[in-house]
């Protein structure tokens, strides 16, 4: 990311608009070192270029896919060092995929329990409520 000589020069607000990223999020990524400091204009404005746009889009897309910040930092480190191999990236992706699948399994279990519990509820204006009873229960079989 040392090449700041590509085409456009954007102020932070323009970078935010181009990428759909909030200003505070850009500041945060800069603060934690995921976005390199851009050069400054004579008026001391930060001037972002296409490499910043690409990097920010990479970070945002990785976040959309659920990668943790440390995982994204690791992927960026591989890219920045020029030493990344497809096998390293694949391993990180497969680890993340395993985490996503575990979360899906948990959500499917939760969905099943909630659906079964809701089905036992009449929805009538009565004081007995199977959903509240299940939530109050200490047994794992209810919820």
Q: pLDDT tens across 105-116, in order?
A: 999 999 998 898
C-alpha distances out from residue 86 to 21, 59, 96, 103, Å: 28, 18, 15, 25
Contact by Cβ (8 Å): 133, 123: no
Ordered structural domains, the chain, with CATH:
12-136 (1.10.1660.10)
- Identify the H or E element spanning 66: none
Per mean pLDDT, which range of 28-37, 99-108, 115-124 is the poorest?
Answer: 115-124
Which pLDDT value is given to residue 125?
Answer: 78
| pLDDT (tens digit per residue) in 42-54 | 999 999 999 999 9
Contact by Cβ (8 Å): 104, 66: no
pTM of the model: 0.74
| Direct distance between the N- and C-terminal alpha carbons of the chain, in angstroms, rounded to an integer | 50
């Amino acid at each position: 990311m040392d090449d700041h000589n590509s085409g456009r020069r954007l102020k932070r607000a323009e970078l935010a608009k181009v990428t759909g990223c909030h200003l505070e999020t850009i500041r945060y990524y800069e603060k934690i070192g995921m976005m390199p400091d851009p050069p400054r204009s004579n008026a001391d404005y930060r001037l972002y270029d296409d490499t910043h746009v690409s990097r920010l889009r990479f970070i945002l897309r990785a976040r959309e896919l659920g990668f943790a910040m440390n995982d994204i930092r690791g992927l960026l480190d591989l890219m920045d060092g020029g030493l990344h191999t497809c096998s390293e990236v694949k391993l990180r992706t497969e680890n993340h995929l395993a985490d996503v699948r575990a979360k899906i399994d948990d959500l499917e279990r939760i969905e099943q329990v909630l659906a079964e519990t809701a089905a036992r509820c009449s929805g009538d204006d009565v004081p007995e409520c199977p959903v509240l009873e299940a939530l109050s229960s200490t047994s794992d079989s209810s919820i």
